[in-house]
Structure 1
Amino acid sequence: MKRALAMALSLLGAAVLAAGGFYAGRHTTAENSMTAMPAPAAPGAAERRVLYWHDPMVPGQRFDKPGKSPFMDMQLVPVYADEAGDAGVKISPTVQQNLGIRTVVVGRADVSSSFDAIGAVQFDERLGVAVQTRVAGYVEQLAVRAPMERVRKGQPLASLFAPDWLGPQNELLALQRAGASQELIAAARERLRALSIPEALIRQSEATGTAQARFTLSAPVSGVIAELGVREGVAVTPGTTLFRIAGLERVWAVAEVPEAQAARLERGQKVWAALQADTSQTFEGQLTEILPQVSASTRTLQARFEVDNAGGKLVPGMLLRMQMAGPSASRLVVPAEAVIRTGTRAVTIVRKDSGEFAARDIQLGADLGDTIEVLSGLAEGEQVVASGQFLIDSEARLRSVLGAMAAGTAAPVSAPASAPAAMHVGDGKVESIEADSILISHGPIASLKWPAMTMGFGKPAGAAFAGIGPGDTVRFEFRQGGTMGYELVSVQRLGAAK
């Protein structure tokens, strides 16, 4: 009996100890759990508020929860509240390096208003000289036998025989031999001069006592024989042009100047010219004449420049690369590669102080080759993107559209009432069915020129097309509209589910 009582007391004590340990353990565990549990973070302290999710390839559709895009084989991308209304684009430094984005600083440069043109060398007609005879006679000998030969001043050109000069000279000699008065002799000399007999020839006949009928024509200036009008043995009459000499001390460079640049030309304007075939040979000149005529076919006018040719290296027909000098001024310029031309406007991508990129319209001035003048839209010291700007511009346009769409709620906005949408027909296979859409892998849609693809179509109602299941081959009709962009009108099964 005592033994049984002792065992009962032992069992009761063990039970009490176990119960106490159980409650003590629960209390200790609760305290430890409360001690180890971190304090909840303040709402929104480290989280960014998501406005909606979207497919970047179809930015017009928005979703209120993440998931897989019904249009493309990709996950939906969140659009945050601090991004949707931002006009700029944020790009991490790593991505900038991978894309090769390079920025340059907008600055000023001293730019001259000079411009280039191509000119052709011509004779300076003001330096041309005609060599004629004032007496009838014959050409006995030619010293210059071909056009374009170079001659020097005083060089013999031809010898002529003038028989009409013999009579007046013999009369002068007879008066001198007869001892006539000086008045008669002076009158006879004046008659010889009136017949254009050279003074040297008169002195020679007086010294020798014999009339001289042969004389030599000499070049009055240096140049080239531009025109040769006689040959040996031919008869000449008074006023016949025997030679035409063109001077080469100066030449004309006639340039075809575009009509748009004609206003930049002024008489006396300096020009630097270089041979087209050898740019190391340079020349200087100035604008002397702007010919008052514009070519109807090329819309250019001719500008005539006088170019120094003391060395005689320029000859007619040579081409010159000419640079017209103009006043220089400080202008705001950017590299030509930093400008995106759309046809109607010019755009640059500007990097802000915050590190964001934004597109900005600018007004361009003169094209200066590697750089372009900026009239408005930029300020000195700003940074513009010189490479990779097309990628940033595309992203900026996308952000701008999304920011405007995010001005309201994230729920899709119904389109305004319009004319009934066109119907389109396609064949495909049902991939999956959601409460408000059906994902179909379909073939080409001829009416929309779509290739074969997998995309989601909206349902007109949640219970629509209850008899259709995944794997069914179907023929479906749809139209544009609904929350998915395109909404099913009818779906007919073509084959059993696989």
Structure 2
Amino acid sequence: MSVLISRGRLAAAGLALVLVGAAAGYGVSKLAKPAAMAPPAAETGRKVLYWYDPMVPNQRFDKPGKSPFMDMQLVPKYAGEGGGEPGVQVDPARAQSLGVRLARAEQGVLPSEFTAPGVIDFNGRDLAVVQARVGGIVQRVYARAPGDMIGAGAPLADLLIPEWGGAQAEYLAVRRTGDAALAAAARQRLAVLGMPAGVIAEVERSGRPQPTLRISTPTSGVIRTLSVRSGMTLSQGQTLAEISGLATVWLNVAIPEALAGQVRQGQAATVTLAAFPGERFGGQVSAILPETTTDSRTLTARIELANRGGRLRPGMYGQVALGGTATPALLIPSEAVIRTGRRTLVMLAQPGGRYRPAEVQVGREGGERTEILAGLQPGEQVVASGQFLIDSEASLAGVQARPAASMATPSATPALFETMGRIERLDTRSITLSHQPVPALQWPAMTMGFTVADPSLTRGLKVGDQVQFAFDQVGANHTIRRITKMDMAR
């Protein structure tokens, strides 16, 4: 019995020791937790550059602690992470599953032609206003209505002018007296009253007063407004009708604000209309209106078109093709550009499967390609598909974008490109050449302008000379460094 009791006491004592040990262990572990969350720099032997919150990677801290943004500890950023190169590492298998596609920044020529919509309108300069020269009563109107096509000299209304009747009767009476001076004065009075020479001649021929004036159209076209009715009384200078000519029409074209710099007055344009498929109409830009439409952010360019046969009707819809200036540029696919609102980025592909955002300055767009003014060098690869997912990964990792200014000017001496051409225009510091293709830049044969590095290079040259020249390219500038006239006799 004593043995059994002693064993029970031993079991109770053991259970008490277990509980005490557990409590002591809990206390030790609770005290040791902050030490476990401290930066393990001493353990790893690596240098800590800074601490950051993974949810706000762009904000850096110089010491560990709790994040002011989230309920979590700051994470250390060690020197040497990422192999010394800024960027994020993406496994090739993961990149393939994300549909990552690369494209190379290459020299090329943007399409020089762009299209814009337009609507045909009346030519505002070809407008005739018909007014009553004197007051009177409308005795007769002819079958006219707004929108009618009408020829020059077509009658609109007959106007009875009582004042004319008395003056004409007096003139006829004076003529019968044989007093030439008095008759001339009476005739002059008729002209002062506004009688046309034809009416006065008819009074003299018939010997009877002609108090009725027929009002006719001075030009052919379409009646825009008509405000004359039978029996109404007209005052002097009152407008009866407005007539717009149709010999030429205007096509008002909506030019996007971004392309406004490529349009100039006198520029040739080709117009296609939905009403006449397959047919092209030629015209030129007669004016660029000074105001911009706020809602659509477009400018209005006015193109004047000849309207042979009156086929072009106001209100018709058309597409206008305008040819710009073909200039070489550094190009990437437009889909590779990331616009954040504050800046423009591309995701740069680096060796070893690493990616880094790079800030760029973009120019014109055309043919699904975008011109890069600064931020990239020819031959660099950018992500054209899947870049938004990689950009999000880079933002979470706190990767800083490469600034565009650091790539604006190459550090190495620019390479020289040689070709042959013909001088089209020559100034002190610039020259325009129709040159042959430049395979190294993938340029076709074209006419373009160059800057001359030294005015002495063009001494003795003139327009029309065939030359061989060498030039370099820095950004969008093309500078001739060497040029010689070719001996065509050889």
TM-score (norm 1): 0.50
Q: CA shift at 1:146, angstroms?
A: 1.3
Contact preservation (8 Å) 1:109, 1:331: yes
> Structure 1 residues 167, 342: closer, same or farther in 2, change over 3 A?
closer
Aligned match of 2:223: 225
Q: Work out whether 1:213 is the aligned partner of 2:205.
A: no
Q: CA shift at 1:228, angstroms?
A: 0.9
Aligned match of 2:307: 310
What code does the residue aligned with 1:298 have?
A: D
Aligned match of 1:249: 247
Aligned match of 2:346: 347
Matches within 5 A, 1:376-387: 376-381=374-379, 386-387=384-385
Q: Work out whether 1:201 is the aligned partner of 2:194.
A: no
Q: Deviations over 1:120-155 (max 9, x none)?
A: 544444332221122232223323431122222222
What code does the residue aligned with 1:305 have?
A: R
What code does the residue aligned with 2:232 have?
A: V
CA distance in 2, matches of 1:97, 1:257: 41
Aligned match of 1:26: none
> Structure 1 residues 340, 217: closer, same or farther in 2, change over 3 A?
closer
CA-atom RMSD, angstroms? 4.6
What code does the residue aligned with 1:310 have?
A: N
**Larger Rg belongs to:** 1
Tell me, what secondary structure is at the counterpart of 1:210?
coil
> Structure 1 residues 212, 395: closer, same or farther in 2, change over 3 A?
closer
> Structure 1 residues 189, 166: closer, same or farther in 2, change over 3 A?
same
Tell me, what secondary structure is at the counterpart of 1:224?
strand
Aligned match of 1:66: none
Aligned match of 1:332: 330
Tell me, what secondary structure is at the counterpart of 1:193?
helix
CA distance in 2, matches of 1:118, 1:111: 21
Contact preservation (8 Å) 1:87, 1:399: no
Aligned pair count reads 318
Q: CA shift at 1:232, angstroms?
A: 1.8
For structure 1, the 5+ residue unaligned runs are 1-59, 61-80, 402-498
Q: CA shift at 1:245, angstroms?
A: 1.6
The 10-residue stretch of structure 1 (169-178 or 315-324) with the greater mean CA deviation from structure 2: 315-324
Q: Deviations over 1:243-296 (max 9, x none)?
A: 12223334455556666666666555665554467675545242535345x66x
For structure 2, the 5+ residue unaligned runs are 1-53, 55-79, 400-490
Contact preservation (8 Å) 1:251, 1:307: yes
Contact preservation (8 Å) 2:100, 2:384: yes
CA distance in 2, matches of 1:99, 1:261: 35
Tell me, what secondary structure is at the counterpart of 1:217?
strand
Q: CA shift at 1:375, angstroms?
A: 1.8
Tell me, what secondary structure is at the counterpart of 2:125?
helix
Q: CA shift at 1:219, angstroms?
A: 1.0
> Structure 1 residues 112, 220: closer, same or farther in 2, change over 3 A?
farther
> Structure 1 residues 384, 162: closer, same or farther in 2, change over 3 A?
same
Q: CA shift at 1:336, angstroms?
A: 2.0
Contact preservation (8 Å) 1:283, 1:307: no
CA distance in 1, matches of 2:189, 2:395: 97
CA distance in 2, matches of 1:302, 1:341: 24
Contact preservation (8 Å) 2:268, 2:282: no
Q: CA shift at 1:220, angstroms?
A: 0.8
What code does the residue aligned with 1:228 have?
A: L
CA distance in 2, matches of 1:104, 1:148: 57
Contact preservation (8 Å) 1:137, 1:160: yes
CA distance in 1, matches of 2:357, 2:384: 14
> Structure 1 residues 361, 122: closer, same or farther in 2, change over 3 A?
same
What code does the residue aligned with 2:164 have?
A: W
Q: CA shift at 1:241, angstroms?
A: 1.3
Q: Work out whether 1:127 is the aligned partner of 2:126.
A: yes
CA distance in 1, matches of 2:238, 2:398: 84
Q: CA shift at 1:306, angstroms?
A: 4.7
Aligned match of 2:136: 137
Contact preservation (8 Å) 2:357, 2:394: no
TM-score (norm 2): 0.51
Matches within 5 A, 1:386-401: 386-387=384-385
Aligned match of 2:157: 158
Q: Deviations over 1:304-360 (max 9, x none)?
A: 6252242344444444545565444221111223445666542244587xx977556
